[in-house]
């Protein structure tokens, strides 16, 4: 396994374990992927139980800091909404905020 793949697996497992630590079921889907091109995400998260379906997550390990613009715009707030022209808004939040949203 190459270093980027090993790093990706490590970070995916970290995200799964963070969810499990707060009582939210999660699992890596990456081992189930036939290939990276199939569009499957890396982690399934079940904050409302497995019967309610999963939040499907892509996980990226990034070297260095996040873009300074995003961090500056988020500031001390819980959420940052970014709306590209003629597209759906995106939501950016720190783990602590996300944890509050998905915990049982």
Q: How far apart are CA 36 and CA 2, in angstroms?
A: 14
| Pairing mode, strands 90-92 and 43-45 | unpaired
Domain that holds residue 42: 1-62
Q: Is the pLDDT of residue 6 over 80?
A: yes
When divided into structural domains, the chain yields a total of 2
User: Could you tell me if 63 and 53 are in contact, meaning their C-beta atoms sit under 8 angstroms apart?
Assistant: no
29 & 78 share domain: no
pTM of the model: 0.81
56 & 72 share domain: no
Higher pLDDT pick, 3 / 42: 42
50 & 95 share domain: no
User: Could you tell me if 44 and 26 are in contact, meaning their C-beta atoms sit under 8 angstroms apart?
Assistant: yes
Burial class (CB in 10 A: 0-12, 13-18, 19+), 90: exposed
56 & 75 share domain: no
39 & 74 share domain: no
pLDDT digit string (tens) for 73-94? 999 999 999 999 999 999 999 9
Residue 39: its pLDDT value, please? Answer: 61
pLDDT digit string (tens) for 27-75? 999 665 544 444 678 999 999 998 999 999 999 887 777 788 888 999 9
């Amino acid at each position: 396994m190459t270093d980027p793949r090993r790093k990706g697996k490590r970070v995916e497992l970290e995200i799964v374990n963070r969810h499990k630590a707060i009582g939210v079921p999660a699992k890596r889907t990456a081992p189930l992927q036939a290939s990276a091109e199939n569009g499957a995400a890396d982690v399934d998260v079940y904050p409302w139980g497995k019967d309610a379906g999963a939040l499907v997550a892509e996980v990226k390990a990034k070297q260095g800091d996040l873009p300074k613009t995003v961090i500056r715009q988020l500031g001390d707030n819980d959420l940052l909404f970014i709306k590209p022209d003629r597209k759906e808004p995106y939501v950016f939040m720190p783990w602590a905020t996300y944890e509050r949203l998905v915990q049982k």
